[in-house]
Structure 1
Amino acid sequence: MADNDRARQRIITSVFDKRNANADVPESYVAHIKIWEDSGEGQGKKPRYIIISRAADNTGFIHKSKLNTNGSFSVGKTWKLTELRGIQVVSSSSFNITLARTYKWQTDNVVEQTEFVRAIVDLFRSLVDAPLHLVGVDETSTALDRLVAGDWGSEEDAEDAEETAEATMISVEEMLEGYEWASEDTFGRKSARGAADLVEARLLDELMALDKANIHSFLESDDRVNLVVKYLDEALGEVDAMDSLLSSYKIHLNAVGDDISFIQSQRRGLQVQMQNQGMLLSELENLLKTVQVSKEALLTLTQESLEKQTGIQRLEEAATELYKALQASQDTEMAATMERLDEYRTYNAQFCKRIFDYLSIMIVAQSKLILDDNGGISRPKGRGRPIIYNHQGMEIYLGRYAGLLLYLKEMDETVYSKFCAAYFSAASDLHNTQMKGVFSIYAGLLKKTPEEDAEQSFASNHTSARGGAIRRAGTIVRGPVETRTRERGGQAGEEYGAADALGYILDQIAPQIYREGDFIADFLQINDAGLTFADYAGLDSYFRRQAARSAGLGQSTAKLVRGAMDLIFGFLLTELKQWVDLAIARDALQVVGIIACLERFLVDADERGNAFFLQILEKQHLRLKGTFDRHINQQIKMVDETKLTSKKRKGVAHFIKYFPIYVGRVEQQLIGADGLEIRAHVDSAYEKIVHSMFECLKHMATLDGDGEDKGQLNYHVLIVENMHYFVAEISQLETGSVVGFLKQAETIYNENLAAYVRIVLRRPFAKLIEFFEGLERLLKTTAPSEVQKNSHYSKSSLKKVLKEFDGKDVRKHIDVLFRRVEKHFTEAEETTTREESSGIAAGTVMVGVWKACEEELQRMTESFSARIAECYADGGVSMEYTSSDVETAFKRHRLGSSVGH
Structure 2
Amino acid sequence: MMVPRNPLSKFEKRDKKEANSSTDVLTAGEALRQFLTQLIPHVQREQNFVIDFLHVHSGLEDGDGLITYAGYSGLEGYFKRAAVNLQQTAMLNSKLNDILSVMDLIFGFLPGEMKEWVEAMVAADPMQIISVMMALDLVIGSDILVRSEFLNKILEAQQKRSLNIFELNIKEQLKAIETTRLTVKKRKGVVSFISTFPDFVLRVERQMEFGETADCPTRKLVNQLYEQISQSMFEALQTMAKSEGDPVANSGGGSQEDRDKDRLNYHTLIIENMHHFVTTVSKINAPALKASLEKAKEQYDHNLALYIRLVLRRPLARFIDYFQGIDELLRTTEPTQIPQHSQYTRASLKRVISTQDKKDIKKSIETLSKRVDKHFSDVANPSAENSVVMETVWSACEKELIRLIGDWQALLEKCYANPQTESGTSGSNDKGGIPKFEFGIDDVKLAFQKYRPGS
**Shared fold (TM-score greater than 0.5)?**
yes
Structure with larger RCO (C-alpha < 8 A, sep 6+): 2
User: Which one of the candidate residues 292, 302, 318 is aligned to 1:751?
Assistant: 302
**How many Å apart are 1:559 and its aligned residue?**
5.7
Residue matched to 2:30? 500
Q: Deviations over 1:47-85 (max 9, x none)?
A: xxxxxxxxxxxxxxxxxxxxxxxxxxxxxxxxxxxxxxx
**How many Å apart are 1:527 and its aligned residue?**
2.8
Correspondence 1:625-664 to 2 at 5 A = 625-664=163-202
Instruction: Report if the CA contact (8 A) 2:145-2:152 is conserved.
Output: no
**How many Å apart are 1:793 and its aligned residue?**
0.7
Instruction: Report if the CA contact (8 A) 1:457-1:658 is conserved.
Output: no
Residue matched to 1:89? none
Q: Deviations over 1:406-450 (max 9, x none)?
A: xxxxxxxxxxxxxxxxxxxxxxxxxxxxxxxxxxxxxxx23242x
Q: What is the DSSP-based 3-state SS (H/G/I as helix, E as strand, rest coil) of the residue aligned with 2:3?
A: coil
Instruction: Report if the CA contact (8 A) 1:446-1:496 is conserved.
Output: yes
User: Which one of the candidate residues 559, 577, 580 is aligned to 2:115?
Assistant: 577
Correspondence 1:654-803 to 2 at 5 A = 654-671=192-209, 672-673=211-212, 674-702=214-242, 704=250, 705=252, 708=257, 709=259, 710-803=261-354
Residue matched to 1:611? 149
**How many Å apart are 1:804 and its aligned residue?**
2.2
Partners of 1:853 and 1:454 in 2: CA distance:
42
Larger Rg: 1
Residue matched to 1:586? 124
TM-score (norm 1): 0.42
Distance 1:851 1:745, change over 3 A: same
CA RMSD of aligned residues (A): 3.2
Residue matched to 1:513? 43
Instruction: Report if the CA contact (8 A) 1:829-1:844 is conserved.
Output: no
Residue matched to 2:402? 858
**How many Å apart are 1:751 and its aligned residue?**
0.5
Q: Give 1:809's aligned amino acid.
A: D
Partners of 2:312 and 2:46 in 1: CA distance:
78
Partners of 2:305 and 2:336 in 1: CA distance:
33
Q: Give 2:46's aligned amino acid.
A: E
Partners of 2:368 and 2:154 in 1: CA distance:
67
User: Which one of the candidate residues 799, 802, 810 is aligned to 2:361?
Assistant: 810
Partners of 1:872 and 1:855 in 2: CA distance:
25
Distance 1:622 1:528, change over 3 A: farther
Q: Give 2:47's aligned amino acid.
A: G
Instruction: Report if the CA contact (8 A) 2:56-2:95 is conserved.
Output: no
Instruction: Report if the CA contact (8 A) 2:8-2:126 is conserved.
Output: no
Distance 1:854 1:498, change over 3 A: same
**How many Å apart are 1:652 and its aligned residue?**
1.3
Tell me, yes or no, if structure 1 residue 446 matches structure 2 residue 5. Answer: no
**How many Å apart are 1:796 and its aligned residue?**
1.6
Q: Deviations over 1:203-244 (max 9, x none)?
A: xxxxxxxxxxxxxxxxxxxxxxxxxxxxxxxxxxxxxxxxxx
Q: Deviations over 1:452-496 (max 9, x none)?
A: x449725xxxx759xx7xx79xx95x876x33xxxxxxxxxxx52
Correspondence 1:341-490 to 2 at 5 A = 445-449=1-5, 453-454=6-7, 457-458=10-11, 482-483=23-24
Distance 1:893 1:607, change over 3 A: farther
Runs of 4 or more off by more than 6 Å in structure 1? 555-558
Distance 1:527 1:570, change over 3 A: farther
Residue matched to 1:891? 449
**How many Å apart are 1:517 and its aligned residue?**
2.3
Q: What is the DSSP-based 3-state SS (H/G/I as helix, E as strand, rest coil) of the residue aligned with 1:792?
A: coil
Distance 1:455 1:626, change over 3 A: closer
Instruction: Report if the CA contact (8 A) 1:810-1:881 is conserved.
Output: yes
**How many Å apart are 1:879 and its aligned residue?**
2.3
Partners of 1:595 and 1:800 in 2: CA distance:
73
Tell me, yes or no, if structure 1 residue 620 matches structure 2 residue 158. Answer: yes
**How many Å apart are 1:525 and its aligned residue?**
3.1
Q: Give 1:677's aligned amino acid.
A: P
Partners of 1:860 and 1:592 in 2: CA distance:
53
Instruction: Report if the CA contact (8 A) 1:753-1:849 is conserved.
Output: yes
Q: Give 2:177's aligned amino acid.
A: V
Correspondence 1:825-864 to 2 at 5 A = 825-827=376-378, 830=381, 833-834=384-385, 844-864=388-408
Instruction: Report if the CA contact (8 A) 1:605-1:613 is conserved.
Output: no
Distance 1:676 1:557, change over 3 A: closer
Partners of 1:751 and 1:829 in 2: CA distance:
28
Instruction: Report if the CA contact (8 A) 2:3-2:121 is conserved.
Output: no
Q: Give 2:194's aligned amino acid.
A: I
Distance 1:777 1:558, change over 3 A: closer
Instruction: Report if the CA contact (8 A) 1:660-1:729 is conserved.
Output: yes
**How many Å apart are 1:563 and its aligned residue?**
2.7
**How many Å apart are 1:498 and its aligned residue?**
1.3
Distance 1:518 1:479, change over 3 A: farther
Residue matched to 1:567? 105
Partners of 2:127 and 2:96 in 1: CA distance:
45
Partners of 1:632 and 1:789 in 2: CA distance:
66
Distance 1:455 1:583, change over 3 A: closer
Distance 1:799 1:792, change over 3 A: same
Instruction: Report if the CA contact (8 A) 1:652-1:725 is conserved.
Output: yes
Q: Give 2:45's aligned amino acid.
A: R
Instruction: Report if the CA contact (8 A) 1:457-1:655 is conserved.
Output: no
Q: Give 2:105's aligned amino acid.
A: L
Q: Deviations over 1:326-357 (max 9, x none)?
A: xxxxxxxxxxxxxxxxxxxxxxxxxxxxxxxx
**How many Å apart are 1:681 and its aligned residue?**
0.5
Partners of 1:479 and 1:670 in 2: CA distance:
17
Q: Give 1:604's aligned amino acid.
A: S
**How many Å apart are 1:780 and its aligned residue?**
2.1
Partners of 2:61 and 2:146 in 1: CA distance:
23
Q: Give 2:188's aligned amino acid.
A: K
Instruction: Report if the CA contact (8 A) 2:29-2:131 is conserved.
Output: yes
Instruction: Report if the CA contact (8 A) 1:464-1:657 is conserved.
Output: no
| Structure whose residues are more often strand by fraction | 1
Q: Give 2:398's aligned amino acid.
A: E
Correspondence 1:195-234 to 2 at 5 A = none
Q: What is the DSSP-based 3-state SS (H/G/I as helix, E as strand, rest coil) of the residue aligned with 1:827?
A: coil
Q: What is the DSSP-based 3-state SS (H/G/I as helix, E as strand, rest coil) of the residue aligned with 2:56?
A: coil
Tell me, yes or no, if structure 1 residue 597 matches structure 2 residue 148. Answer: no
Partners of 1:797 and 1:697 in 2: CA distance:
45
Distance 1:880 1:528, change over 3 A: farther
Instruction: Report if the CA contact (8 A) 2:32-2:135 is conserved.
Output: yes
Instruction: Report if the CA contact (8 A) 2:358-2:439 is conserved.
Output: yes
Q: Deviations over 1:116-146 (max 9, x none)?
A: xxxxxxxxxxxxxxxxxxxxxxxxxxxxxxx
Distance 1:727 1:622, change over 3 A: same
Partners of 2:149 and 2:379 in 1: CA distance:
57
Q: What is the DSSP-based 3-state SS (H/G/I as helix, E as strand, rest coil) of the residue aligned with 1:688?
A: helix
Q: What is the DSSP-based 3-state SS (H/G/I as helix, E as strand, rest coil) of the residue aligned with 1:763?
A: helix
Partners of 1:774 and 1:786 in 2: CA distance:
14
Residue matched to 1:871? 415
Distance 1:845 1:573, change over 3 A: same
Q: Give 1:725's aligned amino acid.
A: H
TM-score (norm 2): 0.80
Give the % identical residues. Answer: 37
